Structure 1
Amino acid sequence: MGRVEELRDLETAKQVARLLEAENERLHQRLLALVQENARLKGQEAQAQLQLELTHLKEQLVLMQQRLFGASSEKRGEKPPKVERVRPQRGHGPRAQPELKVQEVLLPLDEADQVCGLCGNGLHPWEGQTEDSEEVTVVERCFVLRQLKRQKYRCTQGCAPVTAPTPPRLIPGGRYSVEFAIHVALMKYGFHLPLARQERLYAREGLAVEAQTLWDQLEALARHLQKSYEALLAEVFTSPLIHADETHWFLLDKGPGTKWYAWTVASPDTVYHRILPSRSGATARTVLGDYKGLVLVDGYAAYQTATKAGADGPAPATLAFCWAHVRRKFFEAQKFAPACQQVLQLIAELYGIEKDLPDWSALSGEARQAALAHRLAVRQQHSAPVVQRIQQWALSQRAMPGSAFRKALEYMLHLWSGLTVFLSHPVVPLDNNHVERQLRDMVLGRKNHYGSKSQRGTEVAALFYSLIETARLRGEEPGRYLRRAALAAIESPGTVTLPTRQD
């Protein structure tokens, strides 16, 4: 049986759940006999110990079923009240299409119909008079084999002839244009279409090309963009706050492949991915480097190891922890501990306070400083008392060892110092959802093409995901940006071109 997180078919997942439930029942019975025998030998009360173990097993079963079939905790339960906003009407009437090219089509009468139905005389066009409407249509994509004829010139005095220059080439002497390689990159890393599917799609449209040839274009394009990709990390580290997270990625070079990990660091408008073979604290230290600002993360211990003070000095970075992860723990535990509803409501109050605070990252200069000062004042006045109530509530609770409720309490209290960092640092948001959104494309890509076939494939994937997502964050169309950066690097190797921040 495969691992649960690798199951993609719903019916298979249901069968696995039924098997697990049956196995759980068998273990209940076995546990009952063992606990009673153990208690008899030790002279202990069997029933209390048995109930503890059975309750723990039942919690695990319910949580497993919820993770398999339930909705995300971010989409259920009580949510902070939303601000009423006036939005344009959707779903009725035509929508403006400012990005579409406009094509005017004049529709004349057939020659046989150009006769007046009243008097029988001929009809003539009424110049400048039309009845107008519009429709959205599609013009099929067309691959073209361009034959490039470079004009030659000769001097009237018999000097050496001159030939018009060749357009920029992705690969010297190559047959495919820069624009073609960018299109393939966007299809794979922007829209998650594997190269094998692109090969079949293009064949339907008249282009005979192999997946290996498509990969060759991606690899060549990535070499030209390497310096721009490397510059993203320094760009991320200029921010006073960064987000960090990781997810698994498969390297498919041998057999079923080996599990690698996509590590991501992100500032509000820049993303940098790396795919590495380990998820250890040493790897986290490599990813964070010598960054000395605030790092918002989940509770994974590798980040705490990476930023721990040592013999060589104090911790280089300050960790802040994610309230969304705390909320998820209590949301799962509320099935067994109704007391969790109280802390969920308090966390909702924190989010309610945050929703009206200005976004500092979109501002600069005095406007940014004023926004940060306002965020700090509101949090100290309104958020701090709520956080204190959450701590008092947690310390007053009693939970059964090993239960989901106990684990949620321990998770929160263990991370408490980092969960309260946002009260004194106004740049820190409540949660790490920003970087989780930036990992979403990699997760979708992993689902569609399963991973990378080589280590070079992991490097190319990290590069394109980073550049495409950064362009989107900054408001520049990714294809336009990649073309601009690639042409600059071909003309002058090593040129760094980053996406432009759009106002």
Structure 2
Amino acid sequence: MIDLDDRTCRCCRGDLHVIGADVAERLDVVPAQFRVVVTRRPQYACRACEDVIVQAPAPARLIEGGIPTEASVAHVLVSKYADHLPLYRQAQIYARQGVNLDRSTLADWVGKAAFLLRPVHARLFERLKASDRLFADETTAPVLDPGRGQTKTGQLFAYARDDRPWGGLDPPGVAYLYAPDRKAEHPIRHLAGFKGMLQVDGYAGYKVLAARNGVSLAFCWAHVRRRFYELAKAGPAPIATEALARIAELYQIEGEIRGRSPDERRAVRRDRSRPIMAALEPWLTAKLGLISQKSKLAEAIRYALSRWAGLSCFLDDGRVEIDNNMVERVIRPLALTRKNALFAGSDGGAGHWAVVASLVETCKLNEVEPQTYLTDVIVRIVAGHLERNLDDLLPWAHAPQPLKAVA
């Protein structure tokens, strides 16, 4: 409030009265501040009984005897896995505010929290695996290998659900699972019991999974398009350019029907997309016979033709997407964390990465603020939340708290 010191009229010296006010808003910031939470537990003794001393029990803590509150630990988790700040950078930020925390101490907090959250992560994956359709993808996870003095390449497999494009009621989510390599045995083990449609890229391990577990595969048109795009970008490439134009027609139709019901999507695809597909396959086959079989263009065409059945799945099921882009979007945060942190300290550390990142990214998909969510869940588990009620701890069980827009 900025007001006059003198509220009398300059002319007659009478009292002035308020007729309005100008209001201006400015965005200010208060940097994050640390505080010390003190818990006092009085001790009581009986005057008649010398050996009687009673006291209220100490509240449970995530880290017994440690200094952090659950909110402090959640902040470290969100900074690392949502904001992609490595622990050494977080330690530098805290030091500027007079709080000296070693990176190894922060790593211990992350490990204990991730271990505590493992049942929630496992339940999240169970709920996703119970769906009729999932997206799947994988990305590298460099892991320190002390025996060799260098890093080894592990894998983070991502299994995601998003039914929003066709109005499905199941909430979106993603679960990451770490594996030490890219062998087909890992997705086979992960998806044991899953019998639905799996939307994937061209990774051969998923074909092995489909053959053994009876899973149907829907392949990704974005991967097909990307191969032709790289050729067209490099210089004049009439066949690749024509292929891109035909694929663009399919995507234009998809943009028009996004958000409609499965029946509507299927009907439009059969009327408009199927003729495009029916003409595209023989056209690609004919062009393949005219070019060198060792060329990149031939590889791109064979990539598409060899997966044609899986690329056609979206025509007959309005719940199936044309591509695998949904799971690629939730893979990108892993790449940012990997770029900034360089590697996980161990296989166990990579497993912790998978647990916490799964919950953070599922929060983001459901517009749930991850700091609030993780703090609440950690507090409730530490206080003895029953494992049979794990559904109450999943990210979509929390009320959405989208960020407020700034005018």
TM bucket (normalised to shorter chain) is 0.7 to 0.9
1:472 aligns with 2:364: yes
Q: Which position in structure 1 is the counterpart of 2:40?
A: 149
Q: Which position in structure 1 is the counterpart of 2:282?
A: 392
Q: Answer whether contact 2:292 2:298 (CA < 8 A) is retained.
A: yes
CA distance in 1, matches of 2:371, 2:186: 32
Note closer, same or farther for the CA distance 1:198–1:374 as it changes in structure 2 (3 Å cut).
same
Note closer, same or farther for the CA distance 1:128–1:140 as it changes in structure 2 (3 Å cut).
farther
CA distance in 1, matches of 2:145, 2:297: 42
1:261 aligns with 2:155: yes
Within 5 Å, which residues of 2 pair with 1:126-275? 130-152=21-43, 163-254=55-146, 255-268=149-162, 269-275=172-178
Higher RCO by CA contacts (8 Å cutoff, separation 6 or greater): 2
Q: Which position in structure 1 is the counterpart of 2:255?
A: 355
Q: Give the match's secondary structure for 1:193.
A: coil
Shift of 1:121: 6.0
**Alignment RMSD (CA, Å):** 2.5
Residue type at the aligned position of 2:22: E
Q: Answer whether contact 1:202 1:208 (CA < 8 A) is retained.
A: yes
CA distance in 2, matches of 1:281, 1:386: 34
Note closer, same or farther for the CA distance 1:388–1:203 as it changes in structure 2 (3 Å cut).
same
CA distance in 1, matches of 2:236, 2:189: 40
**Structure 2 unaligned blocks of 5 or more:** 163-171, 401-407
Residue type at the aligned position of 2:200: V
1:459 aligns with 2:351: yes
Q: Give the match's secondary structure for 1:441.
A: helix
Q: Answer whether contact 1:240 1:427 (CA < 8 A) is retained.
A: no
CA distance in 1, matches of 2:249, 2:188: 35
Shift of 1:270: 1.1
Q: Answer whether contact 2:94 2:100 (CA < 8 A) is retained.
A: yes
317, 324, 336: which one aligns with 2:222 = 324
CA distance in 1, matches of 2:12, 2:356: 67
Q: Give the match's secondary structure for 1:248.
A: strand
CA distance in 2, matches of 1:209, 1:491: 26
Q: Answer whether contact 2:9 2:15 (CA < 8 A) is retained.
A: no
CA distance in 1, matches of 2:311, 2:191: 20
CA distance in 2, matches of 1:480, 1:128: 43
Q: Deviations over 1:385-418 (max 9, x none)?
A: 1110111211211221211110111100011111
CA distance in 1, matches of 2:190, 2:231: 33
Q: Which position in structure 1 is the counterpart of 2:327?
A: 435
Under a length normalisation based on structure 1, what TM-score does the superposition of the two structures give?
0.70
1:498 aligns with 2:394: yes
Shift of 1:114: 3.4
Note closer, same or farther for the CA distance 1:195–1:128 as it changes in structure 2 (3 Å cut).
farther
CA distance in 2, matches of 1:305, 1:337: 35
Note closer, same or farther for the CA distance 1:228–1:395 as it changes in structure 2 (3 Å cut).
same
CA distance in 1, matches of 2:180, 2:383: 35
Q: Which position in structure 2 is the counterpart of 1:376?
A: 266
Tell me the percent identity. 33
CA distance in 2, matches of 1:341, 1:454: 45
Q: Answer whether contact 2:209 2:215 (CA < 8 A) is retained.
A: no
Note closer, same or farther for the CA distance 1:177–1:351 as it changes in structure 2 (3 Å cut).
same
Shift of 1:150: 2.4
Q: Deviations over 1:415-468 (max 9, x none)?
A: 111101111122110110000011111000000001201121111110111000
Residue type at the aligned position of 2:199: L
Q: Give the match's secondary structure for 1:145.
A: coil
1:107 aligns with 2:5: no
Note closer, same or farther for the CA distance 1:342–1:129 as it changes in structure 2 (3 Å cut).
closer
CA distance in 2, matches of 1:127, 1:118: 15
Residue type at the aligned position of 2:264: H
Moved more, 157-166 or 144-153: 157-166
CA distance in 1, matches of 2:190, 2:350: 16
Larger Rg: 1
Residue type at the aligned position of 1:149: R
188, 196, 199: which one aligns with 1:293 = 196
CA distance in 2, matches of 1:194, 1:128: 55
Residue type at the aligned position of 1:304: K
CA distance in 2, matches of 1:127, 1:415: 76
CA distance in 2, matches of 1:355, 1:206: 52
Shift of 1:477: 1.0
Q: Deviations over 1:151-191 (max 9, x none)?
A: 45679998966544544411122211000000000000110
Q: Which position in structure 1 is the counterpart of 2:166?
A: none
Residue type at the aligned position of 1:256: Q
Q: Answer whether contact 2:84 2:337 (CA < 8 A) is retained.
A: yes
CA distance in 2, matches of 1:193, 1:117: 59
Note closer, same or farther for the CA distance 1:341–1:216 as it changes in structure 2 (3 Å cut).
same
> How many matched pairs?
379
Q: Give the match's secondary structure for 2:359.
A: helix
CA distance in 1, matches of 2:296, 2:77: 44
Note closer, same or farther for the CA distance 1:117–1:168 as it changes in structure 2 (3 Å cut).
farther
CA distance in 1, matches of 2:15, 2:179: 75
Under a length normalisation based on structure 2, what TM-score does the superposition of the two structures give?
0.86
